[in-house]
Amino acid sequence: MMGGGGAEVAHAAAAAAVDWPAVRKDIIDVIADAKSPGGIGEKGPTLVRLAWHSSGTYDKMSKTGGSGGGTIRFKEELAHGGNAGLDKAVAWLEPVRAKHPNVSYADLYTLSGAVAIEAMGGPSIPWRAGRVDALDPSAVTPDGRLPEPDAGSPPKTAAALRKVFNRMGFNDQEIVALSGAHALGRCHVDASGYVGPWTGTPTIFNNLYFKLLLKATWTPDERVPKFQYKDASGTLMMLPSDLVLIEDKDFKPYVELYAKDKKKFFGDFTAAFTKLEELGTKGLYAV
């Protein structure tokens, strides 16, 4: 076990007594709770998004942001444009936190994403504990650190994706692999202005997202407030930042690879998602 100071040592001592299998079970119960608003169709994908957005604020130059402080629980970060609707996910996990008070919010949010991916048929995500919560909103990073769905044109959108992900330390292959999480969930007009699911199996983690990018015919969808694409049936959608993965010559080979090889996608996604959840953290340990 590693530690970087009094808070880290104290947290590690408390976390060592946590019944982590019980925490995982309680998270799975949240995901499977079809009685609450949203039900299983919403909760699994939304917990993945919570983990993603709590981690994706990292800046490798300033070494700020990332999942380490659990700052997405603060209203100041939930108010960021990319986090619309995630207040629901934070609330879903409050009973779990109350039941396991020695678990930091930062650990709980990242673990919930890993558990949700596996619960929905995805790979087992290696996860380590030891994140120490920030005490107040002063640790919240500025808005604008998460990827934008549309920068105005395919070249600009590709450049914007690289700017955000390169800031965290990801390359083109990792960008495409992480984008594969769009196999899950759907967009909501009241949250993002976009509407609809990316695939017909939004609660199953698979490589269908990549297959659809390549095989479906995508045309502009004028039925919704923001610019997005629809398939021939009008039931599925893609964002400009999705289509750019096949429009950009350096991204496309990875889309083609993952569409053909689910095992390769799962392996590369696991590595990239594990890296994402640990950006900027220190003193983590296996549980």
- The helix (run of H) or strand (run of E) holding residue 237 is strand 237-238
Is the alpha carbon torsion for 273, 277, 283, 286 positive or negative? Answer: negative
Q: Does the annotation mark 198 as catalytic?
A: yes
* DSSP string over 98-126: HH-TTS-HHHHHHHHHHHHHHHTT-PPPP
Q: Measuring CA to CA, which residue among 101, 98, 134, 97 is closest to residue 112?
A: 97
Of 11, 53, 80, 182, the catalytic one is 53
**Tokens 């380590």 found at:** 128
Q: What are phi and psi of 59, to 5 degrees?
A: -120, 115
Q: What are phi and psi of 64, to 5 degrees?
A: -115, 160
CA 215 to CA 231: how far, in whole Å?
10
Burial class (CB in 10 A: 0-12, 13-18, 19+), 249: exposed
- Determine contact, residues 165/177, Cβ cutoff 8 Å: no
Residues in the chain: 287
Of 52, 92, 127, 198, the catalytic one is 198
Is the alpha carbon torsion for 199, 119, 12, 282 positive or negative? Answer: negative
Q: Measuring CA to CA, which residue among 53, 277, 45, 278 is closest to residue 164?
A: 53
Catalytic residue numbers, as ranges: 53, 198
